[in-house]
Amino acid sequence: MHAALKLFIEHGIDGASIEQIAESAGVARTTVYRRWPSKEALLAQAIAGARGTPEQKVTANRGALGSLARRLVDALAATLTAPDYRKLIARLAGSVPSCPDLMSAYWENYLVPRRRMVRGFLEKARAQGLLREDSDPEILLDLIGGATMYNLLIRPGEPSARQMRVYLFKVLRELGLRDTENR
């Protein structure tokens, strides 16, 4: 997976064939095919592994909602500002026209379960009156993801973890989540 991720970050989808991945990893192609049914499945798992599971670590831990929000924002800020993460996300988004199966595999196997975790947090916030009663958690997740990707990929410069944390709190506040603090 390390070889697949490295090739994908450096060369994009076209520079990360099964043959190139196997050669870089020092294994036979059959070894790769035994573990993953396709290049897209391998890359999706490698990308998910590089991203980590900040949502799972935070939402599995019970606590006050404000504390959960701070821990979630801290974990996401650390993930989003990790070395090479920006380039990785740019490569993933850029692969959609030529390789939509990669995004489909990543979405189904890794993003949907993570969105489910954060959706639980948003539903809890709504139940506690911290979000509008008629708010749609799926749309809120899209808005948070879109704002985050815009900040990472379109705005010039690379935000620090602290800057990303401040930004994420502002996004949550603008979406109507009360009691979020810019700490």
pLDDT at 139: 95
Rounded Cα–Cα distance for residues 15 and 6 (Å): 10
| Contact yes or no for 141/122 (Cβ under 8 A) | yes
Spell out the per-residue pLDDT of the chain, length 183, in tens. Answer: 999 999 999 999 999 999 999 999 999 999 999 999 999 999 988 888 877 666 665 555 566 666 777 888 888 898 889 888 889 899 999 999 999 999 998 898 888 888 888 898 888 888 888 888 999 999 999 999 999 999 999 999 999 999 999 999 999 999 888 664 444
DSSP symbol at 175: T
pLDDT on residue 182: 45
Q: In degrees to the nearest 10, what's the CA dihedral of 14, 158, 50, 21?
A: 20
Residues 11-35 have pLDDT tens digits of 999 999 999 999 999 999 999 999 9
The pLDDT value given to residue 141: 94
The number of CA neighbours under 13 Å toward the Cβ of 131 is 22
Element (H, E) at 72: helix 65-80
Q: Could you report the per-residue pLDDT of 137-160, keeping only the tens digit for each?
A: 999 999 999 999 999 999 999 999
Q: pLDDT value at position 179?
A: 60
pTM: 0.78
Domains, the chain: 39-174 (1.10.357.10)
The pLDDT assigned to 60 comes to 59
